[in-house]
């Protein structure tokens, strides 16, 4: 056969395989409001940058009539491409081929691209749309999952791993996304659960729809399993691209710097955001925007545990990770969920050389039987652990309240912060003046002719003595008390002088964080 004919043969073969499960299955996919796996990859990556591998892989299953079935690409597409020029390894499960179910060869393909991402030290993006373990392939499918989980774990903290849930992701299959750094979901398309509605009905007699059990809203608002929520696949891909622009390719690099831009100070006048009255709420994101390049704050887990705010921004062109208490929600307390949220983000930033900037305004950890019984001790400890463990530049601004354990946990000097600045309205104390006066002057208040007058007087006394930044500044716990409008200048300077920071810790296999 001439080379020309061989090329024609290749083209024909390709054409056939590129159709995945065929026209009917593609029609069904489109009718469900979903893109095909290949469309997803093309939309996500830079134009013409995708190169596919293992297109001609076929399954080897023989039981249950599988020997009569052809499953193109074995239901998954793998390859490499770029996002804003950054190299990416990607896989996308093809639901049109046997429901994107995971058999031996399907798993091998995913393993291959994961290994490639690790060897090349580039981010991995996995698009999940699958009925789970291919039932006909039995233990081989289970083995496949195990090998993916193992690779997710080994790659953790070495390359960024992103999971996109664009269809069902059921049973043990959910654990690969759960082991990765960022999970993206799309309204009415993503469905994630360990046991589906059918099993729940059989075992517990409870009725629930897939959407109510594990839809996009559930995972972005209630469980915290998802980091980004989108209304459409296109919006989701734009979110992924933006995320990729903020993070480095691997743990030996820094995120690519961008052109520095000034914040939009007309929109976010920093001196006017935080009310003087410590009980009055405000949106901490406005403070972040007020200091951030172009006031462009890319929030993560925006819909869950909203009492803490996390996300990326840039200072003078360089990526930083922001953590801030949110006085709009529960006065910005730390609780079980917000501790988990903050701690995981801090660990991501530390693993990937992203400096941490913390804005503090909280009355402490949330009191209550529910919180105690939900393990606020263990969850809260994660924040202490994550900040203490972090060796990237760590800069703190105490804006207003910094009480008790909350003060310590939010990247205080005592956890080895590099710079701690306080605004003049900062109150650094064991607890709020009201609570403190009621405890330490209880007897005096009780025995007074006018207890209310004495109580007010004692609160004032306590406020004057402790509810300010100067006691901490006098001990050197706060480096400098600054005016709000000096925040960006000092932040820029602190980041500049921290560029070559060295913080060596004792050698160990790994720590044992309070998971």
Q: Which of 133, 342, 349, 366 binds ligand HXC (CB under 6 A)?
A: 133
Residue among 10, 135, 377, 497 that touches ligand HXC (CB under 6 A): 135
Grouping H, G, I as helix, E, B as strand and the rest as coil, residue 49 is: coil
Shortest distance, position 173 Cβ to ligand HXC, whole Å = 5
- When asked if residue 177 is in the footprint of ligand HXC (CB under 6 A), the reply is no
Given candidates 73, 131, 160, 311, which one binds ligand HXC under the rule CB under 6 A? 131
Shortest Cβ distance from residue 176 to ligand HXC (Å)? 9
Residue among 172 and 405 whose Cβ is closer to ligand HXC: 172
Residue 197 makes contact with ligand HXC by CB under 6 A: no
The reply to whether 127 sits near ligand HXC by the rule CB under 6 A is: no
CA distance 509 to 58: 41
Task: Give bridge partners of residue 250 from the DSSP assignment.
Answer: none
| Pairing assessment for the beta strands 86-93 and 124-130 based on DSSP bridges | parallel
Closer CB to ligand HXC, 126 or 132, in the complex? 132
Site for ligand HXC in 279-338 (CB under 6 A): none
Name the burial class of residue 194, with classes exposed (0-12), middle (13-18) and buried (19+) by CB atoms within 10 angstroms of its CB.
middle
Is 98 a residue that touches ligand HXC (CB under 6 A)? Answer: yes
- The reply on whether position 34 binds ligand HXC by CB under 6 A is no
Task: Give the bridge partners for 89, in sequence order.
Answer: 80, 124
Instruction: Return the number of other C-beta atoms located less than 10 Å from residue 495's C-beta.
Output: 20
How far apart are alpha carbons 312 and 321 in whole angstroms? Answer: 5
Write out the DSSP string of 421-453.
Answer: EE-TT-EEESS-HHHHHHHHTHHHHHHSSSHHH
Question: Judged by CB under 6 A, which of 17, 118, 120, 142 binds ligand HXC?
Answer: 142
70 in contact with ligand HXC (CB under 6 A): no
Stretch of 128-136, 367-375, 427-435, 498-506 contacting ligand HXC, by CB under 6 A: 128-136
User: In this chain, which of 132, 324, 332, 432 binds ligand HXC, going by CB under 6 A?
Assistant: 132
Judged by CB under 6 A, the number of residues near ligand HXC is 15
Smallest separation, CB 24 to ligand HXC (Å): 9
Q: 453-489 burial, b for 16+ CB within 10 Å, e for fewer?
A: ebbebbbeebbeebbbbeebbeeebbbebbebeebbe
The answer to whether residues 260 and 229 touch, using CB atoms and an 8 Å cutoff, is no
Question: Site map for ligand HXC, 143-172, x if CB under 6 A?
Answer: --x----------------------x-xxx
Cα–Cα distance for residue pair 236/220, rounded to 1 Å: 13
Q: Are 277 and 453 in contact (CB under 8 A)?
A: no
Q: Output 99 or 311, the one with its CB closest to ligand HXC.
A: 99
Q: In the structure, how many helices (H) and strands (E) does the chain have?
A: 20, 16
Between 213 and 454, CB nearer to ligand HXC: 213
Which of 99, 313, 324, 327 touches ligand HXC (CB under 6 A)? 99
Residues at the contact surface with ligand HXC, assessed by CB under 6 A: 98-99, 101, 131-135, 142, 145, 168, 170-173
């Amino acid at each position: 056969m001439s080379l020309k004919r061989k090329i024609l043969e290749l083209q024909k073969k390709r054409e056939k395989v590129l159709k995945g499960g065929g026209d009917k299955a593609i029609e069904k996919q489109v009718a469900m409001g979903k893109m095909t796996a290949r469309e997803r990859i093309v939309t996500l990556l830079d134009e013409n940058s995708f190169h596919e591998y293992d297109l001609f892989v076929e399954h080897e299953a023989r039981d249950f009539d599988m020997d009569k079935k052809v499953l193109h690409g074995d239901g998954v597409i793998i390859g490499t491409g770029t996002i804003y020029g950054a190299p990416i390894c990607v896989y996308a499960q093809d639901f049109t081929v046997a429901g994107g179910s995971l058999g031996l060869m399907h798993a091998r393909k995913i393993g291959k691209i994961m290994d490639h991402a690790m060897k090349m030290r580039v981010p991995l993006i996995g698009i999940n749309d699958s009925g789970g373990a291919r039932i006909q392939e039995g233990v081989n499918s289970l083995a496949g999952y195990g090998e993916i989980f193992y690779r997710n774990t080994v790659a953790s903290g070495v390359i960024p791993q992103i999971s996109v849930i664009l269809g069902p992701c059921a049973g043990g299959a959910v654990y690969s996304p759960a082991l990765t750094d960022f999970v993206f979901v799309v309204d009415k398309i993503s469905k994630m659960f360990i046991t589906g509605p059918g099993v729940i009905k059989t075992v517990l007699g409870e009725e629930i729809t897939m959407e109510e059990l594990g839809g996009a809203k559930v995972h972005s608002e209630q469980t915290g399993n998802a980091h980004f929520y989108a209304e459409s696949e296109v919006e989701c891909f734009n979110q992924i691209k933006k995320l990729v622009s903020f993070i480095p390719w691997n743990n030996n690099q820094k995120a690519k710097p961008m052109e520095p831009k000034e914040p939009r100070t007309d929109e976010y006048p920093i001196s006017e955001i935080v009310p003087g009255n410590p009980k009055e709420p405000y949106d901490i994101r406005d403070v972040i925007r007020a200091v951030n390049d172009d006031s462009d704050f890319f929030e993560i887990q925006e819909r869950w545990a909203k009492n803490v705010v996390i996300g990326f921004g840039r200072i003078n062109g360089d990526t930083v990770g922001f953590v801030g208490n949110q006085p709009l929600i529960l006065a910005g307390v730390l609780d079980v969920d917000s501790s988990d949220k903050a701690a995981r983000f801090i660990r991501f930033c530390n693993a990937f050389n992203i400096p941490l900037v913390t804005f503090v305004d909280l009355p402490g950890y949330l009191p209550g039987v529910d919180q105690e019984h939900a393990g606020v001790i263990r969850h809260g400890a994660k924040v202490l652990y994550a900040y203490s463990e972090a060796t990237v530049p760590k800069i703190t601004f105490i804006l207003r309240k910094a009480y008790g354990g909350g003060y310590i946990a939010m990247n205080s000097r005592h956890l080895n912060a590099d710079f701690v600045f306080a605004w003049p309205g900062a109150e650094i104390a064991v607890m709020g003046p009201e609570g403190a006066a009621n405890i330490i002057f209880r007897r005096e208040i009780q025995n007074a002719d006018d207890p209310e007058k004495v109580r007010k007087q004692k609160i004032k006394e306590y406020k004057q003595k402790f509810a300010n930044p100067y006691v901490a500044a006098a001990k050197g716990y706060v480096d400098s008390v600054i005016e709000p409008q000096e925040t960006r200048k000092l932040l820029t300077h602190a980041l500049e002088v921290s560029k070559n920071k060295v913080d060596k810790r004792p050698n160990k296999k790994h720590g044992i964080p309070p998971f």
